[in-house]
Structure 1
Amino acid sequence: MSRTVYLNGAYMPEEEAMVSVFDRGFLFADGVYEVCAILDGKIIDFEGHMARLERSLGVVEMSVPVTKSELLEIHRELIRRNALEEGAIYMQITRGAADRDFIYPKGVEQTLVLFTQAKDLTSEKDGLKVISAPDIRWGRRDVKTVQLLASSMAKTMAKSKGKDDVWLVEDGLVTEGSSSNAYIVTNEGKIITRNLSNSILHGITRASVLKLAAELDMEIEERPFTIEEAQNASEAFITSATSFVYPVIEIDGIEISDAKPGPVSKRLNQVYAEESRKSAC
C-alpha cells in the first residue's frame, strides 16, 4: 500500500501527488525544508524545527503558508494515516509555480509538501566510516535549503569508496557532515564542535544534545577543528534529526576509539532518545 502524502491542502496517495514543472523548487531550488523525527508515533523537537523553518523562510523572503498549529495537525494526521511509529516526516516549502525568471515572482501560491519515511532510529549504532572532502556548498548553510546537490555528490563519493559519509572541509577546518553536525571528544573528555555561523546548519538535534551534555556536566567547546585533530581524538560523532547521536569510528582511513563507539557518544545517544520520548508531542 502506498503512502499518504500532503500537498497544498489535500491528503492523497503518493502516486497522485503532482507538482508543476514550473515550480521554482524544481527550476531554481527555491525552497526550504525541515525534517522531524518520529518516535512511538510522536514528533521530536517540533518547536525547534518550526522556529528554524521560519528563520530559513525569512532569509529567502518567504513566509509559512499555514499556521504552526495547522502544521502540527498535518504532521499528526500523516502519522495516523501512515501508521508511522518510527521514522521521519519531511516538509518542503517552495515559492510556488511561475514562468521561469530569476526575480522572485509576486502573488504566487507557495507549494507545501509533507511526506513520511519509516526508518529505524533507535537500534544499536556500530559507527560510521567517513572521508573528508572540500566543502563546495553555497555560503548560507544556515538556511535549510532544498538545494542539496553538493551533499548528494559527497555522499555518493563516500559510497563509491566503500565508506558511509563525508566530513566537509573549508580553509583546512571541518565545517560539518554532508547532512549532519560534526563533533570530536578530546582525550580529556571535552566535546568540540564548530560554533554557529553561516558556515553550518544550526542543527536542532545539535542544540538539544549540547544542552543535555551540559546538564550531564560534560565540558563543551564550540570552535572549528581540523581533520588531523579529529583523527587524534578520543571519539568522534555526528548528530542529525534522523541519526540522533551517531559515532564515527574512522576518518580518512584512521580508526577512532579503536573502531568502536565511545562512551560519550553512546551515553548522549541514550539520554537524547530517553528525553525525546518524554518531550515528544
Structure 2
Amino acid sequence: MRTVYVNGEYLPETEAKVSIFDRGFLMADGVYEVTSVLDGKLIDFEGHALRLQRSLDELDMRNPISSEDLLEVHRELVRLNGIDEGMIYLQITRGAPGDRDFVFPDPETTDPTIVLFTQNKPGLADNPAAKQGIKVISIEDIRWGRRDIKTVQLLYPSMGKMMAKKAGADDAWMVEDGVVTEGTSNNAYIVKGNRIITRSLSQSILHGITRAAVLRFAREAQMEVEERDFTIAEAQEADEAFVTSASTFVMPVVEIDGVALGGGVPGRVAPRLREIYLDESRKAAI
C-alpha cells in the first residue's frame, strides 16, 4: 500500500481524504506537476517547483509549502514507497473555503489543499516505445486559452488520448488555426535535416520543463533549433518527429495521421536527444 501526502501528513492511501467541497473537485480550480524519478533521485525538481509557483501566481492562489519543504516531501515519498523509477504527482487546489460558489475568497484567508503521491514505473527509462516510436493523429484544439498554466483541467486531453486509441494510434497532436499547438500531454517537434522545429512559448502551450532541457542539450550538441509554428502537412513531410514530457522524456513519432515518417522507424535525432537527456538528467538528479 502506498504512502501519500495530504496537507502535511503522510498517510496510507486508503486513509487519505479531501473535502467534497474542495474547489479542485468542484471546479478544477487547481494546478499540478509531475516529477520523474530515476535511480531513486528526482529529475528537474527545481524547474518543476518554479513552474508550480508560476501557475499558482497566475491563478492568484497561495502556495502552502516552501520549495525546501516540498523537496523534502518528494524525497520522503520516494523513500517510503521504495521508488527507483517512477513519478511523483503533486496537486495544489484552492481548497474548500466554504460552500460551492463561483467567487473565491481572498487567497490569504484560504487554506489550499496539497496532495502528493508516487507511481512506481519500473523500466521508465527503457520504455520499448522509444525504440519503435509512436503514432499520432491530429485533433482540433478546443481547450481554454491559458495552456501555459498547468491546471488540472485535463478532460479534453484525456478525450484526445481516447480518440487516438480508438483510431489505433498512441497519442494526438492538437491543431489550432491550422498549426500544431502541442500533444495531449507533451510538447511536439519535427526535424528537417539537422534543424529541430517546435512552437515558440506563449499562452497557447505549456512551458515544458523537459522541453527547456532538451532544447538546451540540442544547442549544446550543435543542432539548430527553430521555434516557430508548423502544420500537420509540414510535419508529414519532415525527416522525423518527436515529443517531450516529464514521463516520456524524448519519444520518437513515426506516423502522423496515417503518414509514416522515415520509413516508419525512429530517425537519428530523437534517439540521440533521448540518450543525451537521460545521461545529463541522471547526472543532475537530486
* Deviation readout 1:7-52 (Å, 9 max, x if unpaired): 0010111111111110000011000000101000000001101110
2:95 and 2:125 mapped to 1: Cα distance?
36
Structure 1 residue 121: deviation in Å? Answer: 2.0
Q: Tell me if structure 2 keeps the 8 A contact 1:231–1:251.
A: yes
Report the equivalent of 1:138.
144
**Of 120, 124, 131, the match for 1:121:** 124
Q: Tell me if structure 2 keeps the 8 A contact 1:121–1:244.
A: no
Tell me which moved more, 103-112 or 210-219. 103-112
Structure 1 residue 243: deviation in Å? Answer: 0.4
Report the equivalent of 2:80.
81
What secondary structure is seen at the aligned counterpart in 2 of 1:75? helix
Report the AA paired with residue 116 of structure 2. Answer: L
2:22 and 2:163 mapped to 1: Cα distance?
29
Report the AA paired with residue 23 of structure 2. Answer: R
Paired residues for 1:42-191 under 5 Å: 42-97=41-96, 98-106=98-106, 107-119=109-121, 120-123=123-126, 124=128, 125=130, 126-186=132-192, 188-191=193-196
What secondary structure is seen at the aligned counterpart in 2 of 1:96? coil
Structure 1 residue 218: deviation in Å? Answer: 0.1
What secondary structure is seen at the aligned counterpart in 1 of 2:211? helix
1:241 and 1:151 mapped to 2: Cα distance?
16
What secondary structure is seen at the aligned counterpart in 2 of 1:6? strand
**1:266 matches 2:265:** no
Q: Percent identity?
A: 62
Report the equivalent of 1:40.
39
2:262 and 2:101 mapped to 1: Cα distance?
51
Report the equivalent of 1:197.
202
Q: Tell me if structure 2 keeps the 8 A contact 1:29–1:145.
A: yes
* Deviation readout 1:156-180 (Å, 9 max, x if unpaired): 1111111100000000000000000
* Deviation readout 1:126-145 (Å, 9 max, x if unpaired): 21100000001110000000
Report the AA paired with residue 213 of structure 1. Answer: A
Structure 1 residue 63: deviation in Å? Answer: 2.3
1:57 and 1:17 mapped to 2: Cα distance?
23
2:53 and 2:63 mapped to 1: Cα distance?
7
Structure 1 segments of 4+ aligned residues over 4 angstroms from their partners: none
1:128 and 1:118 mapped to 2: Cα distance?
22
1:15 and 1:159 mapped to 2: Cα distance?
31
Provide TM-score, normalisation by structure 1: 0.98
* Deviation readout 1:57-114 (Å, 9 max, x if unpaired): 0000012101100000000000000000001101000000121111112322110000
1:206 and 1:181 mapped to 2: Cα distance?
7
* CA RMSD of superposed structures (Å): 0.7
What secondary structure is seen at the aligned counterpart in 2 of 1:50? helix
What secondary structure is seen at the aligned counterpart in 2 of 1:91? strand
2:2 and 2:167 mapped to 1: Cα distance?
33
**Of 227, 238, 245, the match for 1:240:** 245
Q: Which runs of 5+ in 1 are unaligned?
A: none
What secondary structure is seen at the aligned counterpart in 1 of 2:10? strand
Provide TM-score, normalisation by structure 2: 0.96
Give the number of aligned pairs. Answer: 279
Q: Tell me if structure 2 keeps the 8 A contact 1:5–1:12.
A: yes
